[in-house]
């Protein structure tokens, strides 16, 4: 990265000095030589970096893969555990819903029975009121 910055700086310096006319032929040659040297250094460092990275990849590839496999196993186990928990919760909710449904049906039948009793009592009340009215009419 430093070499790229240096290279860019040198190129910018060269191109700014050439149009201004402050740079003579000897300085241009020196800057060009410096640029060539910097480019060779950059190429050498890049090749060294690639070699080091490749050796690290080869050396650590098995360890990294094993780490990834271990992490995936942990994740899989956690997901299976979570799935079991959710299944249990779903089964509990289903059982509660069935219990609630049965209770609602029981309460509905009780309500219907009580409604029928109320209707019968209202009929008896009306009959009693009618009988009272009839008796009152007879007494008058």
E strands of the chain, at which residues? none
First to last CA, the chain: 122
Helices 2-20, 25-139: crossing angle, 10 deg rounding:
120
What does each of the 140 residues of the chain score in pLDDT, given as a tens digit?
777 777 677 676 666 655 555 446 666 677 788 888 888 888 888 888 888 788 777 766 667 777 888 888 899 899 999 999 999 999 998 899 899 899 999 999 999 999 999 999 999 999 999 999 999 988 87
Domain boundaries, given as residue ranges, for the chain: 2-139
pLDDT at 26: 66
Q: Burial code of 58-91, b = ≥16 C-beta within 10 A, e = fewer?
A: eeeeeeeeeeeeeeeeeeeeeeeeeeeeeeeeee
Place of tokens 């690290």: 56
pLDDT at 42: 85
Phi-psi region of 99 (alpha: psi -120 to 50; beta: other; left: phi over 0): alpha
| Cut 0.85: pTM above it | no
pLDDT at 36: 85
């Amino acid at each position: 990265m430093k070499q790229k910055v240096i290279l860019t700086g040198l190129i910018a310096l060269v191109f700014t000095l050439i149009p201004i006319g402050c740079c003579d032929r000897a300085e241009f040659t020196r800057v060009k030589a410096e640029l060539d040297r910097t480019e060779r250094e950059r190429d050498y460092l890049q090749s060294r970096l690639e070699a080091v990275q490749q050796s690290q990849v080869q050396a650590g590839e098995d360890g990294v893969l094993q780490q990834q496999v271990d992490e995936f196993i942990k994740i899989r186990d956690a997901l299976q555990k979570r799935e079991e928990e959710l299944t249990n919760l779903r089964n509990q909710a289903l059982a509660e819903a069935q219990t609630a449904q049965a209770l609602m049906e029981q309460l509905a039948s009780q309500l219907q029975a009580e409604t029928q009793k109320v209707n019968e009592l209202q009929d008896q009340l009306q009959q009693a009121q009618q009988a009272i009215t009839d008796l009152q009419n007879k007494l008058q």
